[in-house]
Amino acid sequence: MQTDIELVTRLAAGDDAALEAILDAHQDAVVRFARTVTRDRNAAHDAAQEAFIRLWRNPKSFAGGSLRAWLFTVARNVALNEFRSTRRRTARIEKVVQPPQPPTAAERAADAEKLQQVRDFIDTLPEQERSAITLFAAEGLSQQEAADVLGTSTGAVKQAILSARKKLRERFGDSS
């Protein structure tokens, strides 16, 4: 009976019979362990299969020690990566499948009240800041276009917008 290290050495030399011997010795245990991670029979078989494929493709990635432990680690990592990937895909699908709910009447009223408070506060800003933030944020002009409208430099418009935003954050918090 050959040791796991001898079998991996033979596998690295291109001896496919070594892979058969490794499969015979470890496949059932790796599948059982992967099943405890995935809780799914098919996913466990896929993870175990991937562990053996990785060993076959790159036997030198096994650096010694317990081959069974190495295979368990690879199968576990494969299973966890698949789980994470599936969870991300599911989350993306749920975002697409479940369109956002329209705001309730109370939420619309609260938003309208907050918007009016912001508008009232903007009206209290110095004229340069009020005009710059209105042209840029509300009317959608570029900073250069706002500078042209106000007859000033782009730098002055940038500074006015930064100052207005800072005052808005101080007054309403980061969400405004």
Instruction: Give the CA distances from residue 41 to residues 3, 47, 54, 114, 160, in Å, rounded to whole numbers and listed in that order.
Output: 29, 10, 20, 54, 63
Mean pLDDT within 144-159: 92
pLDDT at position 176 over 50 = no
The pair phi, psi for residue 173, each rounded to 5°, is 90, 180
Question: What's the pLDDT score for residue 99?
Answer: 67
Task: Please determine, for residue 28, whether its predicted confidence score (pLDDT) is greater than 50.
Answer: yes
Domains in the chain, CATH or no CATH each: 4-97 (1.10.1740.10), 105-172 (1.10.10.10)
Summarize pLDDT for 61-111 with one digit per residue, the tens: 998 888 999 999 999 999 988 888 877 777 777 666 666 788 899 999 999
